Structures are given as structure tokens and as C-alpha cells.
Amino acid sequence: MTDGEHESGRSAAWVDPLTRLVGYQLRRASAMLMGELGAALGEIGLRPAEATILLLIDANPGCSQSDVGRALGIARANMAPLVAGLMRQGLVDRAPVDGRSQALELSAEGERRLAAARALIAAHEARLQASLGEDGRDRLLGLLDALRQPPAAGSMLEPVADVPPPRAKTE
């Protein structure tokens, strides 16, 4: 009964069993960053996916939208409306190559828009680097790259369970 439930915050003490979960923390961090970057890019009429498409076309002029989709992990079916939107905005030009393939290039306006997007992305990344520290950025990128790889052989022999343990319950 002597709980102290109504003193400081919401309830007596909030327990967060998610602080040590890599998957969850990664998801929250990603959502936060994409929200911030999305708000910034929204000011120039671009969504994050559209900005990355412009970056890829600029770096690989003449590529197909299937190439871009593969690089970004976006299904071909979902690339169609994305590229159509960029063409409707006059940012991307398309020329037949194959009869079935179309070569993508940035228009002059597309290059101008991309320059603006680059500035916003650079500002965002600079903010992240300020939080992470100079070496933190490289360490984080390295760890994310390691995550992408399958575990090294033999590493699964000692399963290190680290999920919040069941707390004592029912007395």
C-alpha cells in the first residue's frame, strides 16, 4: 500500500524492458531521423525516397528505374508511381533504350532540386555527426554494415539470450 504512486511522475517507477533491444532501438532511431529529414525535405517538395532516387540517378545517369529500385529495395511496382511523380514535376527525363528499358536522367530543374536536397541532407548528417562525435559516425556505419551480414559461422553456438527476464510475479 505504501506505494508512492502519486508522487513524481506517472506511476511509481516505469520499467522499460526495451532499452537493451537492438532491433527496437534501431527502429526508434530510424523513425526519429526519417521524421526529421522528411520534414526538412518536405520544405522543397520532396520525400526521402524521392530525394534518394534523384541522388541515384545523378550518380548513375542513364540507369533504369529497375536499377534504382533494386538499389533502394523498392519493388518495381512501387517504383512506377514514384518515377512518374518525379517526371510530372519535371525533375527526371526518360528516354527509351531497349524497347522495354528506359534511361533515366535528371533535368536541369532536377539538378537544381537535388542541389537543394543535398544541402538539407548534409545539414541533417552534420547534426547527427555532432551528436555522435567525429569517430562515432564511422563506428556506427561500420556496425550497421556488420548487421547486414549473416552471423559468422560458429557464432550461434552460444545463444546469448538478453531479453528482459521475466520478473517475479504472482507474489
Partner DNA sequence: TATTGTTATACTCTATAACTATA
Partner DNA sequence: TATAGTTATAGAGTATAACAATA
Residue with cell 514514384: 82
Cα 122 from chain centroid (whole Å): 15
DSSP for residue 162: -
Interface residue with DNA, options 57, 83, 86, 92 (CB under 7 A)? 83
Instruction: Please report whether residue 122 would count as binding its own copies according to CB under 8 A.
Output: yes
Query: Restricting to residues 143-162, which ones interact with DNA according to CB under 7 A?
Result: none
Query: Restricting to residues 3-32, which ones interact with its own copies according to CB under 8 A?
Result: 10-11, 14-32
Minimal distance, residue 96 CB to its own copies, in Å: 16
Instruction: Please report whether residue 95 would count as binding its own copies according to CB under 8 A.
Output: no
The whole-angstrom separation of Cα 24 and Cα 163 is 12
Torsion, CA 148, CA 153, CA 159, CA 160, rounded to 10: -60
Q: Which is nearer to its own copies, 84 or 146 (CB)?
A: 146
Report helix, strand and coil shares of the chain as percent, to nearest 5.
55, 5, 40
Task: Tell me how many residues contact its own copies (CB under 8 A).
Answer: 80
- Which residue from 129, 130, 108, 110 is spatially nearest to 118, judged by alpha carbons? 110
Residue 6 contact partner, candidates its own copies, DNA, none, CB within 5 to 8 A by sort of partner: none
Interface residue with its own copies, options 44, 47, 60, 107 (CB under 8 A)? 60
Instruction: Please report whether residue 32 would count as binding DNA according to CB under 7 A.
Output: no
Minimal distance, residue 4 CB to its own copies, in Å: 14
